[in-house]
Amino acid sequence: MLVDRLCERYGESVATAKGRFYAVPSVAAIAKDPEIEATFRGLGFGYRAAYYAKSVQMLCAEHPDPDAFLDGLRALPADRARAELLRLSGVGPKVADCVCLMSLDNPATVPIDTHMWQVAQRRYVPRILDGSLPDVPSAAVALARQLRSARAPTSATYEAAQQLFVHLFGP
């Protein structure tokens, strides 16, 4: 597993009654490696190695304590946390939303992947527009109209699909 390899390479060794483990390393500990990208590639991170290396370097350049900055994202409103995550190399809307949902305690965040997109398009948009889905808020109807002809998510339709789910199911 990549996380295990990362921890073993950069983390502090921790001896326990069940064996030796490695702590999750700090961003600063990783940044000390002059060949971060090459090390990440060697650990099996593939094409993402360059993104991770750039993100580590950016975090260290912009924040005296990058780990405190990342921890502090939890206290921000979801839209601000998402905006900060989107600044990281290789992080797009879906990844930022996954982090907001699963790591930053923002349960109203809805990551839209291929499957969620298809659920919206096949299950909800047609039923909202033909009136067969009861008690639909007017905002959801407007979003369904916007999504009706979209074939794939764009920035605008990604946001519309997110909001459609929030209007249908609440935060």
Q: Tell me if residue 94 is catalytic.
A: yes
Nearest in space to 143 (alpha carbons), one of 122, 159, 127, 131? 159
CA angle 42, 45, 50 (to 5 degrees): 95
Please identify which of the residues 18, 32, 54, 94 carries the catalytic annotation.
94
Nearest in space to 21 (alpha carbons), one of 3, 36, 4, 2? 4
Q: Please check whether residue 95 is in contact with residue 88, taking contact to mean a CB–CB distance below 8 angstroms.
A: no
The string of DSSP codes covering 65-125 is SHHHHHHHGGGS-HHHHHHHHHTSTT--HHHHHHHHHHTS--TT-----HHHHHHIIIIIH
Kindly list the catalytic residues: 94
